[in-house]
């Protein structure tokens, strides 16, 4: 129980921010490393002097999938549905959803994304921005 | 260490649906068969290493298996690395034998997700991700597959080529769970599970067990083991638990693991006659072959085309059918098939095979281990 309560306490500010429509992440005061998912110590320098920062709401697309099978009864009326893996412009990576009405066929890795929070469901939703055009030089994933 | 220890015996149960048999009984049957194959009495065993059932984790499971075997081992237990556990434990057994901590080790794995629970493969990846529907093992591998396909142009038919090769080998193996060969069109038309992965990209879900006996080459000689297969090299590697935190989705811990195993064996990819590549999903074969250096990064797709990985090709793989066709068991069956290739007893035998490489990996490519055996 102690462990579960500790994890909840660490994640609570992240969840509260989502409920208020903001995406947040942790930043280390000592080494400036930024990360998600929430944890109690900086995975770079192992220090505990971290604080929450608000993400500015831009990201890029690392990868995505489309579920055709419902792994939980609650998902049966959602299939087929996409799940995105995104990287905030500040660095941390997370799983996100796609805004309704976005064209799956237009998704490309490294696409620039704009984020919005569905506060009611505490979900981060992404849509591609118009500045993203096919054929532009794509940065390599590992260069970040 | 090169050649100091051997795989002295192999054993397994039937693969497929085995209702009414618990994993302890399955482990005992596989160990009984492995000991008989080695010609070693049970009482000689002083180490028992166990891959826990992925679908139902139990505390102190290694001690429960040792007790079911009627053994009081000096050393052993469970190492929690998913499918990489098998080769990791064979490696640990070899090191423990070399360090004089034990002499004869049983390494065994059993699970019954087919007739028991398979919840472990279908759950959400953490509370904060379940709201997105980010569930189950196939979705996580699909995320890796998409990145590989987008970044390098890997095609649906190239993934299909892996399935075609493994299913052809499985069809020749009378012990295989699924003995139905397929063509590229069958693969292409199989239903999407999590796009871009189709049903025929995904491994089987099977009940069963498999085990090996590990001992020193010297002990195997003195004990009169009939067909010992020398362990030439092994290695391991690990990366982040959370798939989104992976530094690069298209590169796996196989790179570090394979380099270490090749270095220990004094061999390179060109000297491998046959390989058993962990194929929980077709994309994993492409990534692993790249990371091992059989081809450059990104060229795993073209590499597996045109029959190169089929029997008779340049690098035949998964000659008993792999996870896609022999049994969905996470990895030990591949070690058993390496032993058969070196003994010349495979149902898809590579003529004159003198070296075989085996890859094991666990979770969503979190853990990796590599084994090279040869005469």
pLDDT of residue A137: 43
d(CA B206, CA B210): 12
Within an 8 Å CB–CB cutoff, is residue B148 touching chain A? no
Low-confidence winner among A56-70, B235-249, B359-373 (lowest mean pLDDT)? B235-249
Residue A131: which pLDDT band, with cuts at 50, 70 and 90? low
Torsion (CA) A140, B363, B158, B146 in degrees, nearest 10: -40
Q: Which residues pair with A63 in a beta bridge?
A: A85
The domain locations on chain B are: 5-117+204-374
Distance from CA of A116 to the nearest CA of B (A): 14
For B132, the closest of A62, A95, A141 (CB atoms) is A95
pLDDT of residue B105: 98
Note whether A110 and A96 are same-domain residues: yes
Q: Which residues pair with B207 in a beta bridge?
A: B16
The residue among A7, A35, A64, A67 with the most chain B CBs within 10 A of its CB, best to mutate, is A67
Architecture of domain B5-117+204-374: 3-Layer(aba) Sandwich (3.40)
| Cross-chain Cβ contact B147/A83 below 8 Å | no
For A85, the closest of B124, B131, B244 (CB atoms) is B244
H-run or E-run covering A62: strand A58-67
**Is the separation of the CB atoms in B286 and B268 below 8 Å?**
no
Within an 8 Å CB–CB cutoff, is residue B192 touching chain A? yes
B125, closest residue in chain A (CA to CA): A95
For A78, the closest of B133, B144, B247 (CB atoms) is B133
Q: Which residue has the tokens 């396909």?
A: B149
Distance from CA of A96 to the nearest CA of B (A): 7
Note whether A91 and A131 are same-domain residues: yes
| Cross-chain Cβ contact B194/A78 below 8 Å | no
Note whether A133 and A63 are same-domain residues: yes
Q: In 3D, which of B324, B355, B319 has the Cα closest to residue B337?
A: B319
Domain span at A23:
2-54
ipTM: 0.94
| Cross-chain Cβ contact B142/A65 below 8 Å | yes
Please state whether the predicted TM-score (pTM) of the whole model is above 0.90: yes
Residue A4: which pLDDT band, with cuts at 50, 70 and 90? very low
B120, closest residue in chain A (CA to CA): A71
Note whether A68 and A137 are same-domain residues: yes
Per residue in B209-234, pLDDT (tens digit) is 999 999 999 999 999 999 999 999 99
Rounded to 5°, the CA angle B92-B97-B103 comes to: 125
Within an 8 Å CB–CB cutoff, is residue B150 touching chain A? yes
| Cross-chain Cβ contact B249/A62 below 8 Å | yes
The share of chain A scoring above pLDDT 90, in percent, equals 81
For A11, the closest of B124, B128, B135 (CB atoms) is B128
Q: A-side interface with B, Cβ within 8 Å?
A: 11, 14-15, 37, 62-69, 71-72, 75, 78, 80-81, 83, 85, 93-97, 108-109, 121-123, 141-142
Note whether A27 and A75 are same-domain residues: no
Note whether A63 and A134 are same-domain residues: yes
A14, closest residue in chain B (CA to CA): B128
> Integer distance in angstroms from the first to the last C-alpha of chain A?
37
Note whether A127 and A73 are same-domain residues: yes
β-strand pairing of B104-111 with B47-51: parallel
Beta strand ranges found along chain B (DSSP E):
5-12, 47-51, 75-78, 104-111, 192-195, 197-198, 208-216, 229-238, 274-276, 355-362, 367-374
**Beta-carbon-side half-sphere exposure of residue A78 (alpha carbons within 13 Å):** 18
Mean pLDDT (whole number) for B29-35? 98
| Cross-chain Cβ contact A94/B122 below 8 Å | no
Residue B54: which pLDDT band, with cuts at 50, 70 and 90? confident
Per residue in B238-297, pLDDT (tens digit) is 998 888 888 899 999 999 999 999 999 999 999 999 999 999 999 999 999 999 999 999
Note whether A66 and A117 are same-domain residues: yes
Per residue in B1-29, pLDDT (tens digit) is 899 999 999 999 999 999 999 999 999 99
Note whether A129 and A65 are same-domain residues: yes
pLDDT at B350 over 70: yes
Which chain A residues are within 8 Å of B191, Cβ to Cβ? 68
Residue A8: which pLDDT band, with cuts at 50, 70 and 90? confident
CATH code at A136?
A: 2.40.50.840
Question: Could you give the number of structural domains in chain A?
Answer: 2
Which chain B residues are within 8 Å of A59, Cβ to Cβ? none
Note whether A113 and A79 are same-domain residues: yes
pLDDT of residue A3: 40
The share of chain B scoring above pLDDT 90, in percent, equals 91
d(CA B113, CA B116): 5
pLDDT at B51 over 80: yes
d(CA A101, CA A60): 19
pLDDT averaged over every residue in chain B: 96
pLDDT of residue B34: 98
Q: Give, as one character, the DSSP assignment of residue B53.
A: P
Note whether A48 and A12 are same-domain residues: yes
């Amino acid at each position: 129980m102690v462990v579960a309560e500790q994890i909840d306490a660490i994640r609570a500010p992240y969840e509260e921010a989502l409920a208020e429509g903001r995406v947040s992440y942790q930043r280390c005061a000592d080494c400036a490393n930024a990360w998600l998912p929430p944890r109690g110590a900086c995975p770079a320098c192992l220090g505990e002097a971290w604080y929450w920062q608000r993400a500015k709401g831009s990201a890029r697309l690392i990868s995505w999938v489309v579920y055709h099978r419902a792994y939980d009864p609650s998902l049966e009326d959602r299939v087929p549905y996409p799940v995105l893996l995104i990287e905030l412009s500040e660095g941390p990576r997370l799983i996100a959803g796609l805004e309704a009405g976005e064209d799956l066929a237009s998704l490309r890795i490294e696409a620039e994304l704009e984020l919005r929070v569905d506060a009611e469901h505490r979900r981060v939703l992404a849509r591609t921005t118009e500045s993203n055009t096919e054929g532009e030089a794509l940065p390599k994933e590992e260069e970040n | 260490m090169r050649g100091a220890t051997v795989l002295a015996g192999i054993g397994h149960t039937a693969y497929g649906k085995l209702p009414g048999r618990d994993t302890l009984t399955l482990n005992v049957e596989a160990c009984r068969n492995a000991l008989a194959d080695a010609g070693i009495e049970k009482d000689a065993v002083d180490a028992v290493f166990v891959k826990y059932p992925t679908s139902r984790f139990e505390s102190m499971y290694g001690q429960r298996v040792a007790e079911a075997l009627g053994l009081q081992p000096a050393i052993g237990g469970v190492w929690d690395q998913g499918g990489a556990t098998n080769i990791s434990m064979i490696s640990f057994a070899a090191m423990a034998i070399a360090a004089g901590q034990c002499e004869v080790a049983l390494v065994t794995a059993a699970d019954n997700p087919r007739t028991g629970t398979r919840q472990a493969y279908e759950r959400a990846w953490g509370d904060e991700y379940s709201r997105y529907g980010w569930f189950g093992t196939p979705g996580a591998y699909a995320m890796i597959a998409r990145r590989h396909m987008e970044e390098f142009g890997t095609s649906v038919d190239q993934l299909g080529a892996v399935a075609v090769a493994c299913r052809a080998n499985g069809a020749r193996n009378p012990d295989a769970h699924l003995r139905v060969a397929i063509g590229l069109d069958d693969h292409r038309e199989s239903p999407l599970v999590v796009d871009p992965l189709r049903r025929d990209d995904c491994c089987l879900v099977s009940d069963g067990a498999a085990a090996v006996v590990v001992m020193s080459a010297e002990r195997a000689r003195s004990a009169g083991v009939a067909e010992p297969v020398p362990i030439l090299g092994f290695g391991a590697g690990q990366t982040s638990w959370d798939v989104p935190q992976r530094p690069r989705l298209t590169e796996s811990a196989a790179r570090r693991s394979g380099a270490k195993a090749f270095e220990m064996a004094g061999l390179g990819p060109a000297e491998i006659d046959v390989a058993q590549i962990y194929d929980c999903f077709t994309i994993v074969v492409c990534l692993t072959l790249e990371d091992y250096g059989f081809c450059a990064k990104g060229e795993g797709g073209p590499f597996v085309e045109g029959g190169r990985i089929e029997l008779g090709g340049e690098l035949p793989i998964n000659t008993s059918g792999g996870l896609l066709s022999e049994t969905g068991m996470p990895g030990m069956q591949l070690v058993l098939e390496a032993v058969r290739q070196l003994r010349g007893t495979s149902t898809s035998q590579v003529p004159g095979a003198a070296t075989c490489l085996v890859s094991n990996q666990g979770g969503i490519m979190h853990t990796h281990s590599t084994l090279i055996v040869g005469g």
